[in-house]
Amino acid sequence: MTSSDPLRLILASGSPRRRELLGLTGLAFEVVKVEIDENPYPGEAAQDYTVRLSHTKAQAALDSGLTEGLILAADTTVADGNAILGKPADPDEARTMLRQLRGRVHQGYTALTLLNAANGQRVTEVAITGVPMRDYTDDEIEAYIATGDPFDKAGSYAIQHAGFHPTELTSGCYANVVGLPLCHLLRALRVFGVVPKPDVPLLCQQHHRYTCDVSASILAVPYENRDKR
């Protein structure tokens, strides 16, 4: 960190994927698991939903008794048009979602919130990635469901699953679809004077074996000038 008074970083998430991605920054952090109601409101748009949940998770971490530090909370969801596709309740729901998504492009949303526990300062970023799914077969769906992997994933899939390899993503933020858009996080951290030492975009691309075409454009725009759609 470049700040003369480094902030303690707290990840408000039990997700191993977010812990793994945050680890690429080289920043020391602690984990506080929070439980909230993740049901969308009737008619709630995907972006509004993810922002609301990231705010709620950050507040839940604060309410757990934190009085100092920088809380990081995030929420990721999958949207097919106006429909929010959450985590499947059972194999039938997973099967329905995967069939609905195959061979088409849908949107992956992640909202992340940084909340300074000491003074209440809060910043929020939203990443949106168009995700083209390959035309996988019914047999592939059944084999993937049998692994148990879909059941804690929005939209019933993990983009990084090597066995299933559900998408044909070649453009946009890969880490967003995994669950933590790192360049958006870097931009938000700057607001608090926190700048990781490693080349995080490079490490992210190497980690995912993916050539990113958006990292430079995201990082070139200050937080206050970002697209607020």
Residue 225: per-residue pLDDT: 86
Domains in the chain, start-ordered, CATH in brackets?
9-223 (3.90.950.10)
Report the amino acid identity of residue 5.
Answer: D
Residue 131: per-residue pLDDT: 98
> Which residue in 52, 55, 48 sits closest to 12, CA to CA?
55
Cα–chain-centroid distance for residue 154?
11
Q: pTM of the prediction? A: 0.94
Does residue 62 contact residue 71 with C-beta atoms inside 8 Å?
A: yes
Per residue in 9-67, pLDDT tens? 999 999 999 999 999 999 999 999 999 999 999 999 999 999 999 999 999 999 999 99
Active-site positions read 75
> Which residue in 94, 79, 127, 108 sits closest to 177, CA to CA?
108
Q: What is the pLDDT along the chain (229 residues), one digit of tens a residue?
A: 444 346 899 999 999 999 999 999 999 999 999 999 999 999 999 999 999 999 999 999 999 999 999 999 999 999 999 999 999 999 999 999 999 999 999 999 999 999 999 999 999 999 999 999 999 999 999 999 999 999 999 999 999 999 999 999 999 999 999 999 999 999 999 999 999 999 999 999 999 999 999 999 999 999 998 875 4
